[in-house]
Amino acid sequence: MPSAPPSLVLASASPRRSAILAAAGIPFTVRTCPVEEARRPGELPKHYVLRLAEAKARAVRADRNEVILAADTVVVVGAGEAAHIILEKPRDEQDACRMLRLLSGRKHEVITGICLLSNGKAILDTETTTVHFLPLSDADIQGYVNTGEPADKAGGYAIQGRACRFIQRLEGCYFNVVGLPVSLVWQRLQQLKQGG
């Protein structure tokens, strides 16, 4: 009798990540465990998101026939520069305003690290999307922050929400900016199925 295919467990409470997987027709269940999200001094953005994704995956209890998927996303302003700035989720409305002022009229990178964990073996990868913002007035910023939408979003904005009007263009995966590079996840799931 053939064994059942591995079950996917999403180690994230993000409704956006759940919605992306569901829209792609990838069956999954959600199981989370809190992990401290603190960047180490001098840690590069890609290293940071990969470390957190793996930590989130390993924190979740897994059965033998389960694959754990975890992810972490940051926004990077001035990528490639020594003085780059990493934006995570805003602490409050004032912090969201600060982030949006930094993004106004310039490009930034959205970097997501993913980890697929199966029987102790981890597949790690990252996706980077470049997003170009229109210039924003103080009224634009305050009006958007007043909606409450920036509250739990890396960089303080939701591309799939009202902030879509601020996006001039993007280069790369749209779903990465929403919170999960689903095509990359699908490719790595196929790699796991093939034993690689």
Residues with a known catalytic role: 72
Per DSSP, the three-state class of 109 is strand
**Angle (nearest 5°) at CA 103 between 97 and 107:** 170
**Distances 65 to 59, 122, 138, 183, 193 between C-alpha atoms, Å:** 17, 14, 52, 22, 12
Burial class (CB in 10 A: 0-12, 13-18, 19+), 19: middle
